[in-house]
Homo-oligomer: A and B are copies of this chain.
Amino acid sequence: MKINENFDELAESYLFAEVARRTKIFADAHPEVRIIKMGIGDVTLPLAPAVSDAMKKAADEMAVKETFKGYPEYEGYEFLRNAISGYYGSFGVSVSSDEIFVNDGAKSDCGNIGDIFSTDCTVLVTDPVYPVYVDTNIMAGRKIVYAPSTAENGFCAMPDDNVHADIIYLCSPNNPTGAAYTADQLKKWIEYAINNDAVILYDAAYEAFISDDLPRSIFAVEGARKCAIELCSLSKTAGFTGVRCGYTVIPKELTFDGHSIKDLWYRRQSSKFNGVSYPVQRAAEAVFSPEGQKQTRENIMYYKRNAELIAKTMEKLGITYTGGRNSPYIWITCPDGMGSWEFFDYLLEKANVVATPGEGFGKCGKGCMRFTSFADHSSTVEAMERIEKAVN
């Protein structure tokens, strides 16, 4: 019996463990200090009342024989797929409900979608990168190439015609850099994908944070339906990190090797997945109701105010940054040429603030730092005041 040897190629991620270790040493030595965590990747505001109510109503239905629901449909209930299709329509993108696959969170599909592609495919990721894209493809034994996101390209990596790739992961607004692609930039990626007979896996998990005139879906851009799959999530849109629901859009037109990708994915899901919890799907449906939209938008605006404050503070301090406007993340170039961990220690000691060292997200993250907008507003205000004093 042999295990999957590709697992031996995975790098151990020490990032969050090392952040925790250094923070603990400091906290133990300075018990009087209140450390503010600006590295939080999870949401902190509760579910909207409309969402919680819908879930409770569904739980009640499940306890009555006449309204009990057994196995859900693999691709999600039609009521939810219709609601998602309507949501796309609200920002001018046409996605039909039979192109939508409901899941238990975008991360699952992000990793599992690889099942339908050959392990011989070359994968392109932008650097810095959400580690899931890299690790899941290392597990499958795929070759990975990196497109750098740097200050020079505004942290929006662009395609290089000299590099071939079969599977392209793009995340916009980006985790960790907070940068968001314009329609023109996405057009270039779509052209590159079509020229390379490649598929784009477009992670739109943070689309709800976009307020400028930027695409909220890759399907807002011409040509995308012939080369792209979109992965989306309610985690950040509606605080669903603990509820677990997302969705994947696969256009009918998407074919490779004469195979409908939508049909292949349905085949994969029907063998390895049994659909999403009924009460969770009802909760998700409520997100897209007028009341749910109003309530969840308020939470998004709360985080966006935090992001704006962090961005303004960096501007005031003359620190180069990206994100913060159409994204919950603010990605900074550490001042005075400091390294990621050097600035991490500096912030911890001088401002008692914890952020996430950029080099944990890839080579191009060296000398960078990620702040998130998910902390309390009052904590964010205090953290920024402290950082202003410490850096000035």
A interface residue numbers (CB < 8 A to B): 1-5, 7, 10, 42-49, 51-52, 55-56, 59-60, 62-65, 67-72, 104-105, 107-108, 110-112, 115-121, 131-132, 135-136, 139, 166-167, 196-199, 239, 241-244, 256-257, 259, 261, 264, 267-268, 271-280, 283
Contacts and interface: CB of A to CB of B under 8 A. Distances in A.
A107 B62 contact: no
Contacts of A276: 104, 244
B199 A70 contact: no
B72 A2 contact: no
Nearest to A193: B1
Given A118-B4, A280-B277, A46 B64 contact: yes
Contacts of A279: 55, 59, 243, 279-280
Contacts of A273: 107-108, 111
A42 to B, nearest CB: 4
Contacts of A104: 104, 244, 274, 276-277
Contacts of A59: 47, 52, 55-56, 59, 279, 283
Contact of A198 (B1, B119, B280): B1
Nearest to A110: B272
Contact of A242 (B69, B136, B257): B69
Contact of A68 (B2, B45, B197): B45
B44 A121 contact: no
A119 B4 CA distance: 7
Contacts of A60: 52, 56
A278 B48 CA distance: 16
Contacts of A198: 1
A166 B3 CA distance: 10
A49 B44 CA distance: 30
Contacts of A117: 1-4
A375 to B, nearest CB: 13
A27 to B, nearest CB: 21
Nearest to A273: B108
B139 A242 contact: no
A243 B59 CA distance: 9
Nearest to A66: B46
A242 B62 contact: yes
Contacts of A56: 55-56, 59-60
Contacts of A280: 277, 279-280
B271 A70 contact: no
A243 B281 CA distance: 10
Contacts of A196: 1
B272 A112 contact: yes
B65 A46 contact: yes
A43 B62 CA distance: 12
A56 B241 CA distance: 18
Nearest to A196: B1
